[in-house]
Structure 1
Amino acid sequence: MAENNKLETLQLYIHPNNLRELKSDIWCEDPVPAQLKISGKKLEVDVNYRGSHIRNYRKKSYEISFFKPTKYKGSKIIHLNAEYRDPSLLRNKLSFDFFSEIGNLSPYSRHVLLNLNGKTEGVYLEIESVDEQFIERRKLPNGAIFYAVDGDANFSLISDLDKETKKSLELGYERKYGTANDDIFLQELIFKINTIPRADFEKEIPNYLNVEQYFRWMAGVILTQNYDGFVHNYSLYRNSVTRQFEIIPWDYDATWGRDVNGKVMEENYVPIQGYNTLTARLLDVANFRKIYKELLCKIMDHQFTVEYMQPKIESMHQLVRPYVLLDPYKKEKIDQFDIEPSNICSFIESRKRFLKGSLYKLD
């Protein structure tokens, strides 16, 4: 949390030779050693760039792994997102907070000011890693975590990338935490989604999936309008007690009326039924459609309103604004930053109108 309405400054020091090595190949996954000064503490860390297409941006995003000590405030890893394409710098955090408020597991995040080797790099979003510490921090039952790493994480037997039959049921996923035995549970989930007979689907799928939680997540994706949310931008956690998979959001800067390039995304771009094989099969069941529709309507009546969201948006904007003026990549665009709260509120109103006009499709 920001203290006294100020952003905390993270001071990162990378030896010039190591920084040169890091910059020489932006796609290299090998980290370089560094020192991080935070809250008056000096920590030995490893640093590498993070993300896919965002590595090409001038303002880089980083993954910080704690080396000595191996944990800081219970975390082994934190992510520093530049939020380069989002003119508001707010959408990712706004989304993570929104998901939590509507009853989903969601990463904790906060805005910080990053200083690299004495030079201000600007406003960043520090994001909690979804890993074993994520589970421990929430006192959840132990369980495996899988990352959806590309468009093949579409819950289908057909690749979303080349439209061919997948060679592996795990295609599109990377195990972040757990053992090789946990891969079998993921394989089983994908297999069952695609092979349970229609007449048996309503009864059998809850053996593998927390259906209501999936619909809470789905409502979050639909309301924030994350176009990639159904085949990417999520993690799966398997609760070892319930033996059900739950889904966790990730990478939500292209939301609230903006696309991945920061351009305006019209409010009707993502349909109310969403995408992917799992969603289609769930909504094929009348009782499941009813659960989803009721959840969506409840959230639109309570959290997804300008009255509820505007104070949060404006408070976040006011907190970050003084630091945007220090951001070498954003300070010249302060006028755009200042109109984004209004743009986000306008999106909420127009998106809600579109979705309410589409509710009949869930009957």
Structure 2
Amino acid sequence: MNRKSKNLLVSLLLITLGFSCQKDVEHSSNEGPTIIPMDSIVTPNEEANYLNFSSDYIFDQDKLPTFDLILSQENLDYLDDNPAREEYVEGSLMFENEMISQVGIRYKGSIGAFVNCVSGNNWTNPSGHKKCTKLSMKVKINYQDKARKFYGLKKLQFHAMNLDPTQMRDRLGYWLFRKAGVPAPRSIHCRLNINGTYYGVFALVEQIDGRFSKYHFDEGDGNVYKEVWPIRSNGNANSNNIFISALETNEETADVSLMTEFAQDIHEANPDSLTNLVERWMIPEEIISYAVIDRLIKNDDGAFHWYCSGNSCNNHNYYWYEDAVNKRMHLIPWDLDNAFENISGQNPVTRIADDWGATRNSCNPFAFGGFSFPQRSAACDKLTKAWVQFDNLYDTKKQEFITSIFSAETIDRKLNEWSQQIYDATEEAYELYDDAISISKWEAEISRLKNDLEIMRNQ
């Protein structure tokens, strides 16, 4: 950080922390977060880079950027008191000498993100104060001003990678999906400071929202849905209300008629018309490429893992984009922190029992894995069964990727490039924190990942 950056950061810290001469406020979980005083708000400069450059500047694969989050001590204590509360507090963001005040800041993550990182005893219902140095964070740029953007983005997501000893799963996984022609988030590594203290290397992952759809699709104004499958596990179409509740865009109009039509078509399709259904509603090469990459990286906590409770089964960690102009549905991968893990390891919760297209137990739920959690074969789902019928295309795409984007030469080069990029930052974090990964362990995990990928090339 240069002298100008340090001076700017110190100035804002003095404002937000209330100066060192003030007494510390003892935080109570009953107290709410504080609001930044009006005289502390930074007025945007119309010439600021973040107002004039696109998101490509942020997701530059050749840089390791540094982001600074600045919060009052009271607000930081409020977050640390119960990270799983996932409630925004007000703070500021500094990036490359430019300050943005009145942003929302909170911790984020699914159940797995908080395991062993909060003080509560029930890992299935995380609670309690923060224990780990790093936790994933979300910054809401438009917290106070709905129209405000940061390099064209409304949210920033910093993934802590606590479950990923390679520090590469997000970046490599999404890179592979995109190279295969699948719409997927952009991701880079970054350094994250909070109130002037370095917390470590994070993965900055693109938020899947309206900015995402406008960037990745020519007709980008359609609906984005989070974690809703067109049909239920019993084969019936989901209801309008279910689709509306899953909307991430266009909530005001909430027109889900196209998704409803898609769901009804799946429900009514007979076995002989399933391939026609896919050709009518999707781009076969795109969705089969999704399936190939998903299986090559063992994304076992994604759309093809059907977790069951009784006879009801559901999947998660995906989005849909609905192109209303061309009447096409696009499946988008999400949350890859458990990807790659089950190639040579055996996560007791996430591991999928079946190979692509296989079924067992007459499509009834069955216990599997170290914890014997019930799951159902993915190909028992009618839509997945339709994709499985493109077996020749699947085999063709798999061989194509193994000799190109998934080849040892290509992936090893990328992993070496990205490892060099974050080496010093990883070493610095290890010198500061007991729970940070050591260079020797990290390099061993990278080697293991390379070996695991070779296993997948030969399956």
Change in 2 beyond 3 A, CA 1:352/1:155? farther
Change in 2 beyond 3 A, CA 1:299/1:3? closer
Aligned twin of 1:301: 403
Change in 2 beyond 3 A, CA 1:241/1:75? same
**Cα distance per residue 1:4-52 (max 9 Å; x no partner):** 9652211111111111222233233431001111111101211111111
Aligned twin of 1:108: 186
Aligned residues between the structures: 342
Equivalent of residue 246 in structure 1, options 330, 334, 345? 330
Change in 2 beyond 3 A, CA 1:313/1:262? farther
Alignment of 1:150-229 (within 5 A): 153=228, 155-158=230-233, 168=239, 171=242, 174-179=246-251, 181-229=254-302
1:130 aligns with 2:208: yes
Give the 3-state SS of the residue equivalent to 1:342 in structure 2.
Answer: helix
The one-letter amino acid of 1:256's match is: F
- Deviation of 1:82 after TM superposition, in Å, equals 0.2
Q: Comparing 126-135 with 199-208, which one deviates more in the overlay? A: 199-208
Unaligned stretches of 5+ in structure 2?
1-57, 118-131, 304-314, 359-377
Matched residues in 2 for 1:88 and 1:264: separation? Answer: 19
1:145 aligns with 2:215: no
- Deviation of 1:97 after TM superposition, in Å, equals 0.8
Aligned twin of 2:81: 24
1:338 aligns with 2:443: yes
The one-letter amino acid of 1:49's match is: Y
**Cα distance per residue 1:223-267 (max 9 Å; x no partner):** 1110022222211101122111001111112122458x9969999
- Deviation of 1:146 after TM superposition, in Å, equals 0.7
Matched residues in 1 for 2:357 and 2:453: separation? Answer: 18
Question: Do the aligned residues in 1 keep the contact of 2:59 with 2:188 (CA within 8 Å)?
Answer: yes
Matched residues in 2 for 1:322 and 1:71: separation? Answer: 31
Aligned twin of 1:353: 458
The one-letter amino acid of 1:147's match is: K
Equivalent of residue 48 in structure 1, options 106, 118, 132? 106
Question: Do the aligned residues in 2 keep the contact of 1:236 with 1:245 (CA within 8 Å)?
Answer: yes
Matched residues in 2 for 1:49 and 1:101: separation? Answer: 30
Q: Comparing 118-127 with 59-68, which one deviates more in the overlay? A: 59-68
Aligned twin of 1:72: 150
Change in 2 beyond 3 A, CA 1:314/1:33? same
The one-letter amino acid of 1:176's match is: E
- Deviation of 1:204 after TM superposition, in Å, equals 3.3
Change in 2 beyond 3 A, CA 1:202/1:165? closer
Question: Do the aligned residues in 1 keep the contact of 2:240 with 2:256 (CA within 8 Å)?
Answer: no
Change in 2 beyond 3 A, CA 1:187/1:302? same
- Deviation of 1:65 after TM superposition, in Å, equals 0.8
TM-score by length of 2: 0.68
Matched residues in 2 for 1:116 and 1:24: separation? Answer: 16
Question: Do the aligned residues in 2 keep the contact of 1:87 with 1:262 (CA within 8 Å)?
Answer: no
Q: Comparing 296-305 with 311-320, which one deviates more in the overlay? A: 296-305
Question: Do the aligned residues in 2 keep the contact of 1:86 with 1:262 (CA within 8 Å)?
Answer: no
Matched residues in 2 for 1:333 and 1:262: separation? Answer: 23
Give the 3-state SS of the residue equivalent to 1:304 in structure 2.
Answer: coil
Q: Percent identity?
A: 20
- Deviation of 1:66 after TM superposition, in Å, equals 0.7
The one-letter amino acid of 1:346's match is: N
The one-letter amino acid of 2:357's match is: Q
Change in 2 beyond 3 A, CA 1:226/1:192? same
- Deviation of 1:295 after TM superposition, in Å, equals 1.4
Question: Do the aligned residues in 1 keep the contact of 2:67 with 2:193 (CA within 8 Å)?
Answer: yes
**Cα distance per residue 1:181-214 (max 9 Å; x no partner):** 4323223323322321122222234333333211
Change in 2 beyond 3 A, CA 1:253/1:4? closer
Unaligned stretches of 5+ in structure 1?
355-363
- Deviation of 1:169 after TM superposition, in Å, equals 6.7
1:33 aligns with 2:90: yes
